[in-house]
Structure 1
């Protein structure tokens, strides 16, 4: 499916009192992609989401949804947006199906066929006519997802969508999100403090700190290959890597360097030819958590809902 820009945050800033909460943030979100949004507590994640949904006006800058400014066409723009914030609230005394029918009445042109379609899409066919009070948390999350996509949004915002889910529920929810992104061409924006889950779920990751966007990377770029090398005469090893302009990071009695598997034999042969004795060389992949802490300078990872 052709990738196109669904949402553009352009030079977005928010000042409250004398404090700049969001500082000139520019970010594009694409169809068919899931973008993770990470940052320490107080980085500005929730403020950004509030401006994207029209709950808070930016001090300057603009949010564009399919090319139209949110400030000029709020109703039209928001009709293309679906939102899930933590645990969706439902009428527990009603069945899942009746909840969807009730929500459908608030929107135009949602047919019975569309309701049945989203029920199948999130895998709730067997339990949809039972009361929500009998649902597990994972089932309620799936019902919330069905509600959020019922009107065929182009853009889906999720704020801590897997809070409280067990590992099986998280994996299941991730599968449905990826399916929706790819099959329907939806741009999905996920704010979460579960770094390992963001790494598995997302195609791109944006990192914010003190209201500034620090980094935007494809997940496959985040997953660069690294190796840990232990060798004799550390000073000579340092000189060797500097001469080859290889970035290295000291760790214990060795060094971590960026290196692809295919490059290992040639590097080992060259180090031996330069009189270096290699004690060990092992893969050392950096996790998203490692990179997050590097980017934010050790910024504290949220322990509860992102702010």
Structure 2
């Protein structure tokens, strides 16, 4: 698959009044990849999305969509973009199909065959001719996704797309996004506060704070190896780790210990030799929530501005 970015934010800065909302933000979004966009309230997520959709102009810097600058090629750039913001609004008195037909008329070259294709893609064949007022929230989300995909966008922006969905609906929506990214080569950009869902959905996570991109990493990127250990007496265990000059973290009744897999048997043998009773010794992976709170210092609301 091609690796040329579908979207490129190049040194983007946004100043409103005397406040710098976005500070020299650069980010590449690749085809076939789902990127999560995280940040505390007021970090600048919504402002960034508004600039990517042409609803707000950067003070400096540029946003490129498929190689074209939004500032000089607005219509061409926006023709490559699809957007879903929270719960998509549809005409509830019309059928799902008539809603899609209505949206198709707003775009050039969207054929009835394409409408049928996206209906099948999001799994609405059996209910597409029923009124939207009879749809569940999950079905309306799928219809919104179909609408956003009608014109074959290369870039899809989702802002809190799973709000209000039950666990089954969230999982279903996640699977549809993965399918679209892989089969269509679409670059998908997801902003959400559901960190556990972002971790399951995305290939890559970008974190913004106070308008600056402070972290970007692959979800499956190798992390430092840690183990969770429960041992008794706890005071003796703490002293044992201290004697090894190991930086351990107390978590509940146990310890999170930085340790490579190859060193585990030796560590266990040494602990037993020091009369420690081991109740649990298991691999430990920090969740995205743990990492997010570490990176952002607790995810506090930014002082300089609000979202």
Aligned residues, how many? 299
Task: Indicate yes or no: 2:249 matched with 1:249.
Answer: yes
5+ residue gaps, structure 1: none
Q: TM-score, normalised by structure 1?
A: 0.90
Provide closer, same or farther for how the CA distance between residues 45 and 89 of structure 1 changes in structure 2, counting only shifts above 3 A.
same
1:204 aligns with 2:204: yes
Q: CA deviation at 1:5?
A: 1.1
Equivalent-residue separation in structure 2 for 1:92 and 1:299 (angstroms): 38
Instruction: Note the residue ranges of structure 2 that are not aligned, 5 or more in a row.
Output: none
Deviation at 1:201, TM superposition (A): 0.6
2: CA distance, partners of 1:46 / 1:83: 13
Q: Which residue matches 2:238? A: 234
Describe the SS at the equivalent of 2:152.
coil
**Relative to structure 1, is the Cα distance of residues 293 and 301 closer, same or farther in structure 2, using a 3 angstrom cutoff?**
farther
Residue 87 (structure 1) aligned with residue 91 (structure 2): no
* TM-score relative to the length of structure 2: 0.90
Query: What is the distance in 2 between the residues matched to 1:33 and 1:228?
Result: 32
Structure 1 distance, partners of 2:277, 2:301, is 37
1:241-279 CA-to-partner distances (Å, cap 9, x unmatched) read 45xxxx54344565313445555224434x459958463
Q: Relative to 1, partners in 2 of residues 1:97 and 1:263: Cα closer, same or farther, differing over 3 Å?
A: farther
Q: Post-superposition shift, 1:146?
A: 0.2
Is 1:110 aligned to residue 114 of structure 2?
no
Match of 2:188 in 1: 188
Task: Confirm or deny: 8 A CA contact 1:233 1:276 kept in the other structure.
Answer: no
The separation in 1 between residues aligned to 2:222 and 2:134, in whole angstroms, is 40
Describe how 1:58-73 pairs up with structure 2 within 5 A: 58-73=58-73
Q: Please show how residues 77-226 of structure 1 align to structure 2 within 5 Å.
A: 77-221=77-221, 225-226=225-226
Calculate the aligned-residue CA RMSD, in Å.
Answer: 2.3
Q: Tell me the distance in 1 between the aligned counterparts of 2:128 and 2:252.
A: 55
Q: Distance between the aligned counterparts of 2:259 and 2:77, measured in 1?
A: 45
**Contact 2:43-2:301 at 8 Å conserved across structures:** no
Distance 2:154 2:178 in 1: 14
CA–CA separation in structure 1 for the residues paired with 2:292 and 2:198: 12
CA contact (8 A) 1:222 1:288 kept: no
